Amino acid sequence: MLAGADYDSNRPEYCFHLHHARHAIGIMVSIIANEGREWGGINFPNNGAIGNLPRNAIVEGLCIVDRRGITPIVVGDLPKPLLGLTLHTLNWQELTVDAALTGDKALLYQALLACPYVHDMEAARKIMNDLLIAHAEFMPQFKK
């Protein structure tokens, strides 16, 4: 369920994702037309674009898009105030992926505890249990 300025109860929820489609189409046109256009909001493997983040981290940033594809713009290091939160978020995401790939409930619980939006252990356990029940058909690896 969406909320805020983007939400209109008279429109189906899929309509709110059209901006993603337009973004993707624009990127494809930039590749085909060899525009060399700068695009923001593209996710890519860091590979040094942000100097003080792990090279294998998936980051979102500015890229040049042309016939060669998508080339990230190197921006250097994140300032220290942003670095801590970003590394924490990367750790949380990595724990989540590892839990999903292994079906390890203890690791999923750790991922939820690392989430900056979950503030206590009982809430993490409840969220985990609710998630596993609600999405059981899509997460058979947790049925072990």
One pLDDT digit (tens) per residue for the chain, 144 residues: 344 444 455 555 555 566 677 888 899 999 999 999 999 989 999 999 999 999 999 999 999 999 999 999 999 999 999 999 999 999 999 999 999 999 999 999 999 999 989 999 999 999 999 999 999 999 999 986
Which residue matches tokens 């009982």?
122
Number of H helices, E strands in the chain: 4, 3
Q: 74 phi and psi, to 5 degrees?
A: -70, 125
- Same domain, yes or no, for 94 and 122? yes
Say yes or no: 59 and 92 in one domain. no
Are residues 96 and 63 part of one domain? no
Residue 132 belongs to what domain range?
80-143
**Which among 72, 105, 131 is the end of a domain?**
72
- Residues contacting 60, CB < 8 A, separation 6+: 41, 42, 43, 44
Same domain, 111 and 139: yes
pTM over 0.85: no
Q: Could you tell me where the DSSP H helices lie in 10-62? A: 18-32
Same domain? For 61 and 10 the reply is: yes
For the chain, how many structural domains are there in total? 2
Q: Do residues 84 and 138 share a domain? A: yes
